[in-house]
Amino acid sequence: MSQRVNAESLKVFCVRAFQRVGVNEQDARIAADILVAADLRGVLSHGVAHLKRYVDGLCTDVINPHPQERVVVENLATATLDADAGLGQPVSYRAMQKAIQKAQQVGAGFVTVRNSNHFGIAGYYAMMALEHDCIGLAMTNASPKAVPTFGRHALLGTNPIAVAAPASKARPFVLDMATTTVALGKIEIANQLDKPIPAGWAIDRNGNPAVDSHRTLDEFKRNVGGGLLPLGGEGELFSGYKGYGLAVWVETFTALLSGAAFASTTYPKTFEGEALPANIGHFFGAWRIDSFRPPEEFKAAMDDLQTLIKSAPKADGHDRIYIHGEKEFEATEINQREGIPLNRKVMDELHAVAQQLQIEMDF
């Protein structure tokens, strides 16, 4: 059902596609690297499966192929960038670099980005901090999919938070999580398999727990109500207001602080239903470890914390406790060696992109 494709070949193809629609070589390489990094990490929902969407956006100028990025405000530890509606990846890469530079100078650095687009996996940017002995943070807002506690309409994005911190002998801690219980992709999979979904993932148009995956997706797509539940689920019994609060936190840092569109005002459309620039926002941060503590002590303590957790007694039926990022590091090793497993649908889309842009596909 899936074909393994070499990561380098996939990158070359993405660079070719981005360049053909007007993106400069440097930005094309950054965007390609970040897309393929998601696939390598096993986060296939955020990899080349998105290429066609980006290409279509660039072809219709909903995504600006020639953005004039600019610094709007700057201080020693902070900055706000305007992405001029360009691809989300290149501006995010540079924003995170800037945050790291600031951290190297004054101990911590933060950069918000407005007027941007989908930036791929949040974890990539947070992990950029690791080689500099910094702790990295990345957040973004997104199209409205999540319903606030006691509501019944999707207003907030899946609003991910990513945090990466280095270890010494162990692997880095890399948390990369949507603030909803699950991503929409899990409901799409249940829909394809004709399966119900567990109460706690989504609510229906009336604000009651949804179990029918077909109906949930249908209502969601027709925009009549319903959507994903925040982490913690429906109502207050399992503290869904905490996931909802994390999502508002992300909106605050990515959109309110940068001046991007927030919540359901992102991804606006004309009266006729045509897409306008998404105007989403991102937030990047870096803390330089040796501005708090000698990095070798920090990293040894991170090793010890991981050992403590992983060696603890396991729950019935389980033989392993994971540290965040561990599964993705293991997937990267396999996919680097054996190629990235792309399913038929994604392969068909890549073929369509090749044909549409009249570019070569070496796999």
- Range 231-290, binding a second copy (CB under 8 A): 231-233, 237-239, 241-246, 248-249, 251-253, 255-259, 262-265, 287-290
> What's the CA gap between 5 and 350, in Å, rounded?
12
**Applying CB under 8 A, which part among 25-33, 61-69, 227-235, 336-344 lies near a second copy?**
227-235
> What's the CA gap between 85 and 95, in Å, rounded?
15
With beta carbons less than 8 A apart as the criterion, state whether 195 and 187 touch.
no
200 binds a second copy (CB under 8 A): yes
**Applying CB under 8 A, which part among 52-60, 70-78, 117-125, 341-349 lies near a second copy?**
70-78
In the window 157-196, what residues touch a second copy (CB under 8 A)?
163, 165, 173, 175, 177, 181-182
313 binds a second copy (CB under 8 A): yes
In the window 114-143, what residues touch a second copy (CB under 8 A)?
135
User: In this complex, which beta carbon is closest to a second copy, that of residue 7 or of residue 323?
Assistant: 323
Q: Which amino acid is at 73?
A: V
333 binds a second copy (CB under 8 A): no
CB of 261 vs a second copy, minimal distance in Å: 10
In the window 87-106, what residues touch a second copy (CB under 8 A)?
103, 105-106
With beta carbons less than 8 A apart as the criterion, state whether 28 and 21 touch.
no
148 binds a second copy (CB under 8 A): yes
- Give the total residue count for the chain: 363
User: In this complex, which beta carbon is closest to a second copy, that of residue 124 or of residue 201?
Assistant: 201
Q: What φ, ψ does residue 226 adopt, rounded to 5°? A: 85, 165
Greatest CA separation for the chain: 59
Q: Which of 291, 336, 343, 355 touches a second copy by CB under 8 A?
A: 291
User: In this complex, which beta carbon is closest to a second copy, that of residue 236 or of residue 362?
Assistant: 236
23 binds a second copy (CB under 8 A): no
Identify which of 139, 331, 99 has the alpha carbon closest to the alpha carbon of residue 254: 139
71 binds a second copy (CB under 8 A): no
With beta carbons less than 8 A apart as the criterion, state whether 118 and 51 touch.
no
With beta carbons less than 8 A apart as the criterion, state whether 49 and 263 touch.
no
With beta carbons less than 8 A apart as the criterion, state whether 267 and 62 touch.
no
CB of 35 vs a second copy, minimal distance in Å: 24
Which two structure tokens, joined as six digits, stand for 331? 């997937």
With beta carbons less than 8 A apart as the criterion, state whether 226 and 210 touch.
yes
